[in-house]
Structure 1
Amino acid sequence: MDPVGTARTLAAARFPGARAAILGGSANTALRTAFSDLDIVVFLDGPPAPYRETTEHEGLPVEWFCHTVESYDELVERETASRRSPLLHMCGEGAVLLDRDGLGLRTREEARARLRAGPPPLSPVELEDRRYGLTGHLDDLAGAGDPDELVFIADRLMIAVAELVLAVRRRWRSHGKWLLRRLREADPQTTRDLLLGYRKVVCQGNPALLRQVAIGVLDDLGGRLSEGYRRAAPR
């Protein structure tokens, strides 16, 4: 299957009045698998956008992300503040399928520029929050007596370390496979050590290496944080 051609045909048939459409995700990349769905961002002039819908084409899921220019801008701002923007990545790394008035190409170029600029840096307060959370995970790891609990604690610790590494390097965070891919790009050595440490927990019940990796990341950022940490309750 030609993912771009298929997506273009589907978008034109389903949204003949669309201003633009962009195919994002893995479908048009070397990371594509037999199970990669078609992630298509569509720009409409108004209602029913914004909405998201999943359909199917010849057994393949098709994810439609329908937006107006205004709803796209609003969501991108919210996602950027959270340092995770699937929408920016779909548009910035995607293939333009339809472009009635230049919006598609313009959106892709602007998304690429924002991706290159990276997410906002961690504030001192946010960094303290991350250090405090990671310290708690390390304490849980040290105190785990149940081997099954140990696996779950290790899982959360690994993700917390990965997200912290990405945040301090002003790299975009993500979930699942994309979290791993982004961490590999940012810090291949820490990625290898984290994975090996986690595998030792799962296969051997040994948390020593995972603990060492997490402490190393913490020490580079000011070390453990527990006593003296204080935050006002949210209003």
Structure 2
Amino acid sequence: MDPVQIARQMVEARFPGARAAILGGSANTGWRTAGSDLDIVVFLDGPPAPFRETTERDGVPVELFCHTSESYEHFAERETANRRSPLLHMCGEGVVLIDRDGFGRRTRAAARARLDAGPPPLSATELEDHRYLLTDLIDDLDGADDPDELVFIADRLLIAVAELILLAGGRWRSHGKWLLRRLREADPKTCQELLSGYRQVVCVGDRAPMRRVAAGVLDGVGGRLLVGYRRDAPAGFRR
């Protein structure tokens, strides 16, 4: 059955008074697989929202993200500050299932505009933090003599490089498969080189290709940062 139809029936049966609902995620895209779940954002006028629940419909896993207009805005603002907003992506890229008064269409358009505007830029301090992390990981990669430790270091370096490429380019960061998808979109050449280098580390222990990619990304944002790096404890931490 069509995922949009399943999702709409789910909402109509479970939330007959819903103000709006939007189907997001991979279910209605070319990335859909046999195991894709249905990510549905449901807007209610009040309790029991806000809540999140995993359920199923006709054997298909369903992730429900139920919000009031106020809770949606709160979570969207919090995710935006973190430069990763699954909620904005679900709404801004999704399909409106139900729209009682135009709120669904307005929410989708506003989310799309916020996505297009991009996340907040990195501050100078945040960029230094990322430079320090990459410097440290590259040094760990160089110095590792345990092949098992090398795999874990390479794994962390893979994620750190991918996130820095996105953040330095004013792009939204993400996790898991969506991190790969956003990196491919932002910089397909470096993405392929990074993946190839990672596989060289994991499969044959050759760290040189991945190191070259990571060092190149690091050079592009100001270069190595290690000695002299300092961060004071947050205000109010000391007694």
The sequence identity of aligned pairs, in percent, is: 74
Shift of 1:6: 1.1
The corresponding residue for 1:32 is: 32
The corresponding residue for 1:161 is: 161
Shift of 1:57: 1.6
Q: TM-score w.r.t. structure 1 length?
A: 0.99
The corresponding residue for 1:68 is: 68
The corresponding residue for 1:104 is: 104
Alignment of 1:86-101 (within 5 A): 86-101=86-101
Q: How far apart, in 2, do the equivalents of 1:113 and 1:57 lie? A: 31
What letter matches 1:99 in structure 2?
D
What letter matches 1:128 in structure 2?
E
Alignment partner of 1:185 is 2:202: no
Q: How far apart, in 2, do the equivalents of 1:30 and 1:195 lie? A: 22
Shift of 1:10: 0.8
Q: Runs (4+) of structure 1 moved beyond 4 Å? A: none
Computed over aligned residues only, the root mean square deviation of the Cα atoms, in angstroms, reads 0.6
The corresponding residue for 1:218 is: 218
Alignment partner of 1:77 is 2:77: yes
Q: How far apart, in 2, do the equivalents of 1:115 and 1:174 lie? A: 13
What letter matches 1:46 in structure 2?
G
Task: Say how many residue pairs are matched.
Answer: 235
Shift of 1:58: 2.4
Q: How far apart, in 2, do the equivalents of 1:133 and 1:159 lie? A: 11
Q: TM-score w.r.t. structure 2 length?
A: 0.97
Answer whether contact 2:50 2:68 (CA < 8 A) is retained: yes
Q: How far apart, in 2, do the equivalents of 1:116 and 1:35 lie? A: 29
Counterpart of 1:63 in 2: which secondary structure? strand
Counterpart of 1:41 in 2: which secondary structure? strand
Answer whether contact 2:6 2:57 (CA < 8 A) is retained: no
Shift of 1:46: 0.7
Gapped regions of structure 2 (runs ≥ 5): none
Q: How far apart, in 2, do the equivalents of 1:20 and 1:193 lie? A: 43
Alignment partner of 1:205 is 2:208: no
The corresponding residue for 2:229 is: 229
The corresponding residue for 1:116 is: 116
Q: How far apart, in 1, do the equivalents of 2:194 and 2:151 lie? A: 14
Alignment partner of 1:148 is 2:165: no
Gapped regions of structure 1 (runs ≥ 5): none
The corresponding residue for 2:125 is: 125
